Amino acid sequence: METLELSLWERCLGRLQSELSGSLFNVWIRPLRAEIRCQDSQTYLVLLAPNKFVVDWIRQHHLVRIVELINELSSTHSVIVQLEVSSVISPPKEHRASFQDIGASSNVSSETVVSNDFQSNVNRSFTFENFVQGSSNQLAWAAARQVATDPGRENNPMLVYGGVGLGKTHLLHAVGNHILSVNPNAKVLYLHSERFVADMVRALQNHTMDAFKRFYRSVDALLIDDIQFFSGKDRSQEEFFHTFNALFEGKQQIIMTCDRYPKEIKGIEERLKSRFGWGLTVAVEPPELETRVAILMQKAEQANVELLYEVAFFIGKRIRSNVRELEGALKRVIANAHFTGKEITLDFVKDALKDLLYLQDKLVTVDNIQKTVAEYYKIKMSDMLSKRRTRSVARPRQMAMAMAKELTNHSLPEIAEFFGGRDHTTVLHACRKIKELVETSTDIAEDYKNLLRILTT
Amino acid sequence: MQLVLDLKLKSDATFDNFMPGKNSVIIDVLKAFAQSKGDSYCFLWSHPGNGLSHVLQAVCHQATKNSLESIYLPLSELLVFGADFLEGVDAVPVVCIDDIHLIAGDAVWEEALFHAFNRIHERGHRLVLGAHHAAVDCGFELKDLLSRITWGASYSLLELCDEDKVKLLQQAAKRRGFELSLDIARYLLAHYPRDMRTQLSILEKLDVVSLQAKHKITLPFVKSTLSSSPSLES
C-alpha cells in the first residue's frame, strides 16, 4: 500500500515538473519528501518540507494543485495531503554525519545512531601535513597538533581565532583527521555553528530534542566553526552551553573557531565566553609574504600546475589579505592558462589578473595608509604631513611611510612626495628604522602587525 | 496581495546567443563549469548591460543540456521574498545567483548568502555568483561572506568593442526575422546609450513598432520613430 502511494507521489511529481518551470520545481517541489501514514483507515500523504518557510510557500502557491493532482491520480480511494516540517533532509552526495541524517529520526535509537551508523564528515583533504606553516600560524598549528595527539585532556576546549580565510577551518579538519588516523572508530563531528542552530530549531519543532542532545553529546570530538554566529541566538547558546558542559565533563574534545577574540563577541552570554577560554586559545594571523608564496606553490602543486617561484612571489606580494583570495587568484591564473593554452609566465599572470591587481592597488592608497595610521596613533592628519619632529608624531609618520613602501608600488620619491614633499632618503630612513624597531620592540611589532591587518583585510 | 515569483530562464539567454568578444576565456570556463568540470565556484562581475544575467542563465541552460539540474536566482526579483528564500538552494547541483551587490549592508541577507555558500560548498554542488561591482567594492559588511566570494576565480565581464556590438545587434535582428543594416546599427550605437541591454531593448521596440506600422526598418524610419518616442531608449 505504502509503495503504491509513494508511486502516486512520483507520478504527481512528474506532472508538477511538466507544469512548472525547472527553477520553481527545483527550489520548492524537489526538496519535499513524501511519507505515507495510515490512521483509522484513512491514508495520509504527508509531504515533509525542510523548513517552515517552504511549508508556507507550498501551502500558498502549490497545495491546491497538488491536491487536485493527487485526487486525479488516485481515483480509487481518497488520500489526504498534509504538509509538515521535517527534520530529515535529503542527504548530500557524499554521506556526511549530521544530526538530521542520523540522529533525529524518531524511529532510530540513539544507540544505533552512535555506534553503527556514524561516518565522520571531516574533510580528508585538510591535514597537518598540507597546512603551510609560517610565523603567523605556527603556534596554532603546534597547539592543534598537540590536541589531536591527546584529545580531551589538557587543552580542552581549544579555540582558534583570527581573521577570515587564514586556515582556521583547515586546522579543525586536520585535528579531526589526525584523531581518525589514530582511532578510525572515533566519532568526530565537524559542523558550522549555523548547522547546530538549524538542527536545534528543527528538533524543537519536531519534538526531538532528546535525540538532538544524545547525538551531540555522544561524539568523541566536536569541531565547531565560526562560533561568532551564535551571537544573539539565546536559545542556541543555552543548548550549546549544556552540550559544551556535557562534552567537557565527559572528556570529549571540543575545538572551536571564531573570527575574533571570544571576549570581543557581542551578543554571547558571559558564562559561555568564559567557558570558551577554559582551555587553550590560540590566534592565527594573516600570512606573511614567505608563507603566502609557500601556500601558492603548494596549491599549484596540488593542482598539478608548475608555478615559477617568481610568479608565486609576484601574486603573493600583490594579494595580501587572506588565503582564500590568494587561492582565488591562483585558480583564475590556472583556468586562463588552461583555456588559452599559454604558459604561466610573469607577464601572463600580470595580464590575467590585471583587474584584480588594479582593485588591490585601489584599496591600499598612500592616502588611506596615512589616514589609518593617524587614526591608529590618534594624531592629526595634518601632523602626518607636517615638519614636526617630536617622537609622538615622527614615529607614526615613519610607520606610515614603511607601510606605504610595503603595501603600494610607489617609488620612494613618490612616497616622499605624498608626505609633504620630503626627500626620498627620509622614506628610506623611516623604513629602516621601523624594520629595526619591529625586531627590537614588542610594542612596535604589535602596532606594525595590527596596521598591516587593518590595511589589508 | 500575493507576490508572484517567476523564475523562468529567458529561452534565448544561451551561450550560442552570446557574443564573447574579449570574454572568451570566461565563456570557456563557464561552459566547463556547467559540465561539472573545473572549479565548483566562481564570481562574475560586470557593469550593467554587458550580459552578466545572460551568461548566468546560459550556465543554467548549458547545465540542463548536460543533464544537471540548475537554478537561476536574480536577487533583484527575489529580495521581496526575504532571505529565507536561500534556505533550500543547496539541494540543486548548479546554482547561479545574480545581483548579489543588492544585499550588501543587509545583515540578514548577507548571513543567509554566507550560509547558503557554505552549504553548497559542503555538498560539493556548483555555484556562480554575479554582481555589478567587484566583490571588494560591493560593500559587504560580513567579512566571512566577502572571503567566501573571493575564494574562487573571479572574472569581470568586459564590454564588447563597437564592431562586436554591431554584429550582436545584427544577429539579434536576424533572430527577430529582419535584417539590420550596418548604418542603422552604427546609428543606434552613436546616438543612444551604448550598453547592450539598452541597445537590445531599443531593437526589440523598433521591431514591435515596425510590425505595428507594417513598415520596413530603414534609417529614416528609425530616426523618426526614436525621435517621436524618446521613451524607447529606456
The CATH number covering residue B130 comes to: 3.40.50.300
What parts of chain A have a pLDDT lower than 50?
Answer: 88-96, 101-116
- Roughly how many angstroms between the first and final C-alpha of chain B, as a whole number? 28
- The residue type of A129 is E
- In angstroms, the separation between the Cα of residue B29 and the nearest Cα of chain A is 7
As a dihedral over the C-alpha atoms of residue A111, residue A113, residue A116, residue A117, rounded to 10 degrees, the angle is 180
Name the more confident of B87 and A3: B87
**Is B180 found in the same domain as B142?**
no
List of chain A residues whose C-beta atoms are within 8 Å of the C-beta of residue B7: 21, 23-24, 27
Residues B108 and B52 in one domain: yes
- Do B71 and B149 fall within a single domain? yes
pLDDT at A46: 87
- B35 and B135 co-located in one domain: yes
Residue A420 confidence (pLDDT):
87
Confidence check: pLDDT of B98 > 50 = yes
Domain count, chain B: 2
Q: B82 with B140, same domain? A: yes
Subunit contact B153:A335, Cβ cutoff 8 A:
yes
B8 part of a folded domain: no
Q: Average the pLDDT over B125-154 and give the result.
A: 93
Q: Say how far apart CA B41 and CA B149 lie, in whole Å.
A: 9
From B138, B156, B174, the end of a domain falls on B156
- Picking from A13, A17, A25, A26 by the largest number of B CB atoms within 10 A of its own CB, the best residue to mutate is A26
Adjacent-strand bridge partners of B94: B70, B126
Amino acid identity of residue A119, one-letter, is Q
Within a domain: B14: no
Nearest to B64 among A22, A54, A355 (CB): A22
Of the residues B136, B156, B176, the one at which a domain ends: B156
Cβ-nearest to A92 among B89, B123, B156? B123
> Average pLDDT for residues B32-50, to the nearest whole number?
93
Distance from CA of A324 to the nearest CA of B (A): 4
Are the beta carbons of A268 and A226 closer than 8 angstroms?
no
CB contacts of B107 in chain A (<8 Å) are none
Q: Which of A27-31, A200-204, B140-144, B146-150 has the lowest mean pLDDT?
A: A27-31
Mean pLDDT over B32-47 rounds to 94
In a domain, B220, yes or no: yes
Clarify whether residues B195 and B111 are in a common domain.
no
Taking only the tens place, the pLDDT of each residue in B101-123 is 999 999 999 999 999 999 999 88
Chain A: residue whose CA lies nearest to B95: A23
Residues B132 and B50 in one domain: yes
Chain A nearest-CA distance from B204, in A, is: 24
Is residue B203 domain-resident? yes
Please state, in angstroms and as integers, the Cα–Cα distance from residue A416 to each residue in A112, A392, A433, A438, B105, following that order.
71, 19, 16, 21, 37
Asked if residue B190 is part of any domain, the answer here is yes
Among residues B129, B156, B183, the one where a domain terminates is: B156
pLDDT of residue A161: 94
Q: What is the pLDDT of residue A93?
A: 38
In a domain, B2, yes or no: no
State the pLDDT at residue A100. 53
Residue of A24, A50, A324 lying closest to B147 (CB–CB) = A324
pTM of the model: 0.73
> Which pLDDT value is given to residue A84?
85
Range of the domain at B74: 21-156
Tell whether B115 and B39 lie within a shared domain: yes
pLDDT of residue B141: 93
Checking ipTM against 0.90, whether it exceeds it is no
Residue B141 lies in a domain: yes
Asked whether residue B122 is domain-assigned, the answer is yes
For residue A335, which residues of chain B lie inside 8 Å, CB to CB?
A: 25, 29, 38-39, 153
How far away is chain A from the Cα of B15, in angstroms, using its nearest Cα?
16
Q: Which of A211, A209, A257, A259 has the alpha carbon at shortest distance from A107?
A: A211
pLDDT band at B1 (very low <50, low <70, confident <90, very high): very low
What confidence score (pLDDT) does residue B5 get?
A: 57
Q: How confident is the model at residue B58 (pLDDT cuts 50, 70, 90)?
A: very high
Three-state SS letters, chain A: CHHHHHHHHHHHHHHHHHHCCHHHHHHHHCCCEEEEEEECCEEEEEEEECCHHHHHHHHHHCHHHHHHHHHHHCCCCCEEEEEEECCCCCCCCCCCCCHHHHHCCCCCCHHHHHHCCCCCCCCCCCCCCCCCCCCCCHHHHHHHHHHHHCCCCCCCCEEEEECCCCCHHHHHHHHHHHHHHHCCCCCEEEEEHHHHHHHHHHHHHCCCHHHHHHHHHCCCEEEEECHHHHCCCHHHHHHHHHHHHHHHHCCCEEEEEECCCHHHCCCCCHHHHHHHCCCEEEEECCCCHHHHHHHHHHHHHHCCCCCCHHHHHHHHHHCCCCHHHHHHHHHHHHHHHHHHCCCCCHHHHHHHCHHHHHHHHHHCCHHHHHHHHHHHCCCCHHHHHCCCCCHHHHHHHHHHHHHHHHHCCCCHHHHHHHCCCCCHHHHHHHHHHHHHHHHHCHHHHHHHHHHHHHHHC
Q: Do B36 and B117 fall into the same domain?
A: yes
Return contacts of A421-425, CB within 8 angstroms, 24+ apart: none
B133 and B83 inside one domain: yes
* Residue of B28, B69, B151 lying closest to A327 (CB–CB): B151
Q: For chain A, what is the radius of gyration of the CA atoms?
A: 28
d(CA B8, nearest CA chain A) in Å: 6
Give the per-residue pLDDT at A297.
Answer: 94
B38 & B134 share domain: yes
Q: Which 3-state string (H, E, C) describes chain B?
A: CCCCCCCCCCCCCCCCCCCCHHHHHHHHHHHHHCCCCCCCEEEEECCCCCCHHHHHHHHHHHHHHCCCCEEEEEHHHHHHHCHHHHHHHHHCCEEEEECHHHHCCCHHHHHHHHHHHHHHHHHCCEEEEEECCCHHHCCCCCHHHHHHHCCCEEEECCCCCHHHHHHHHHHHHHHCCCCCCHHHHHHHHHHCCCCHHHHHHHHHHHHHHHHHHCCCCCHHHHHHHHHHCHHHHC
Q: Determine, for residues A336 and B7 on separate chains, whether the beta-carbon distance falls below 8 Å.
A: no
Name the amino acid, one letter, at A404.
A
Q: Do A26 and B92 touch (CB under 8 A)?
A: yes
Q: Is the domain of B112 the same as that of B172?
A: no
Per this entry, what is the length of chain B? Answer: 234
CATH of residue B180's domain is: 1.10.8.60
SS in 3 state form for A415-439?
HHHHCCCCCHHHHHHHHHHHHHHHH
| Residues with Cβ within 8 Å of residue B192, at least 6 apart in sequence | B198, B199, B202, B226, B233
